């Protein structure tokens, strides 16, 4: 069953926006700016944020411009492509409020870690949403293939703005007013 996102039942999952990976993917600046916007909104609405790195020793840390917005994030390093295959990740999500059943996923690479995590999350009973303008791959064709297959699995794919406006719900709140300068 598909339903609109709700801030109270969402977690933002930021997958592997690391120095070496971001240098290699298509349109990294778009992924970075949209990831920052999602993180700002998540913080404004008290939505939990989980951030991962893939083999940090080899691929480097999360980009500093994103890292500065992750002060409230739960983070971990992994070697698995599917976050749900990582024991530390499984332990970490058990600490989230029991109301969390949706993971809003952004990051890289779309056809590897993002795809595998979204599908695995769905299999485990969560409702993943993938942010199409906040994911990327080294090749544009791989990102397109990932989105196509995610759609085949009935995993919702939406833009950053679609996600944010679902989380915000109304224009007459302090949270909307706080986010408005970033949305113009």
* 91-102 pLDDT per residue, tens: 999 999 999 999
**DSSP-assigned states of every residue in 118-163:** HHHHHHTT-EEEEEEEEEE-SSHHHHHHHHHHHHHTT--EE-HHHH
Structural domain boundaries in the chain: 11-183
**DSSP-assigned states of every residue in 27-65:** SHHHHHHHHHHHHHHHHHTT--EEEEEESHHHH-SB-HH
* 101-120 pLDDT per residue, tens: 999 999 999 999 999 999 99
What superfamily would CATH give domain 11-183? Isochorismatase-like (3.40.50.850)
pLDDT surpasses 80 at 170: yes
pTM above 0.95, yes or no: yes
């Amino acid at each position: 069953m598909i339903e609109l996102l709700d801030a109270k039942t969402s977690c933002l999952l930021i997958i592997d926006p690391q120095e070496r990976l971001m240098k290699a993917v298509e349109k990294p600046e778009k992924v970075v700016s949209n990831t920052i916007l999602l993180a700002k909104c998540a913080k404004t609405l008290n939505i939990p944020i989980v951030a991962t790195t893939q083999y940090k020793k080899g691929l480097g840390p999360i980009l500093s411009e994103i890292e500065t917005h992750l002060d409230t994030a739960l983070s971990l390093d992994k070697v698995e492509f599917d976050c749900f295959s990582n024991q530390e990740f499984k332990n970490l999500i058990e600490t989230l409020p029991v109301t969390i059943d949706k993971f809003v996923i952004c990051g890289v690479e779309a056809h590897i870690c993002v795809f595998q995590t979204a599908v695995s999350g769905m299999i485990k009973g969560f409702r993943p949403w993938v942010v199409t303008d906040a994911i990327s791959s080294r090749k544009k064709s791989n990102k397109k293939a990932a989105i196509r297959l995610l759609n085949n699995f009935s995993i919702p794919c939406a833009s950053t703005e679609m996600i944010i406006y679902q989380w915000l719900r109304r224009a007459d709140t302090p949270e909307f007013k706080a986010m408005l300068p970033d949305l113009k």
